[in-house]
Amino acid sequence: MKRFEVMGLCAVVAGLTGLTPALAQDDSRLSARAVELVEVATANIAQAGEISVSWFVSFDQVVDGREIVTHIRSGDALLARGRGYYAYAEQESGAREFFYDGATLTVNLVDRDAYVSAPFVGTFEQLAERVAAEYDTALPIWQVLVDNAADQFLGDVTDAAYLGQKRVAGQNVHHVALSGYDLDLQMWISVSEPAVPVMIVGTNPYEQGWPQFRAYFTNWDFAPEIEEGTFTYVPGEETSRLSWPKRETEAIPQAEGGE
């Protein structure tokens, strides 16, 4: 199971550590029902040609080994497989828009009237992996939208528990808990069809203070209206173009030719 980026879902995460066979409610450490629910929910998203969703993420930062500061991200994402990707994200440093039209990825720094861009030709999955690996950002909620999302959640799972049906924000949901070598997660998956993630929560027990991340998803739409030009960014006449540093350089984009 892979680590999650802050702009994707969160930074390094983990959840219910050491799930026991008793929690799984059967004789196996891997509840077949829990695994199947995650597989079905991720397959529904992976098989969708077009999909949109609203999301809200909060994650904790432990300061001085004890004080917890919670950070918030929120926004919307739209994906048309083979055509493009658009996302709007609000964070503490300001709003950002992400545009990918199959040839160029552009991030618009809305509050600065500035943007960064990089050429890229490939699938959404290839783009998401490259951005997460090379740049000091990540595409919002990419781990949920990629066609191999099941591997993101189930790849290294050693324990899986089905914890029954619950209600979240007025929805009936299945409650699943997954435990792996690097991280553990809880997932709430809609009972209504098509099954989709409604909430994901993780806790990092390896860091003092047990920081958590929480991701909430609403307004799933498998037939969104997509206007022409949605995935292509067109800068204004006064908009500044900035350079886009890699991970090993300074995190904040700097003006080309400037400080």
Calculate mean pLDDT across residues 17-38: 65
For residue 180, what are its two tokens?
Answer: 């792996």
Calculate mean pLDDT across residues 200-210: 78
Would 247 be classed as within a structural domain? no
The predicted structure's pLDDT at residue 174: 98
Q: Count the domains in the chain.
A: 1
pLDDT at residue 20 greater than cutoff 60:
no
- What is the domain range of residue 146? 32-241
Would 123 be classed as within a structural domain? yes
Would 66 be classed as within a structural domain? yes
H helix and E strand count, the chain: 4, 12
Q: Alpha helices, DSSP H only, in 26-169?
A: 32-46, 124-134, 142-145, 149-154
- Is residue 224 within 8 A of residue 56, CB to CB? The reply is no
The predicted structure's pLDDT at residue 14: 30
For residue 167, what are its two tokens?
Answer: 């209600």
Q: What is the CATH number of the domain that holds 104?
A: 2.50.20.10
What digits encode the pLDDT tens for the residues 58-107?
A: 988 888 877 888 999 999 999 999 999 999 999 888 999 999 999 999 99
Would 59 be classed as within a structural domain? yes
- Is residue 2 within 8 A of residue 138, CB to CB? The reply is no
Buried b (16+ CB within 10 A) or exposed e, 143-167: bbbbbebbebbbeebebbbbbeeee
Would 95 be classed as within a structural domain? yes
Would 194 be classed as within a structural domain? yes
For residue 40, what are its two tokens?
Answer: 């079905």
pLDDT band at 28 (very low <50, low <70, confident <90, very high): low
Of 78-82, 179-183, 250-254, minimum mean pLDDT range: 250-254
Give pTM, 2 decimals. Answer: 0.82
The CA distances from residue 100 to 58, 93, 123, 254, in Å, are 25, 22, 10, 21
Would 150 be classed as within a structural domain? yes
Would 253 be classed as within a structural domain? no
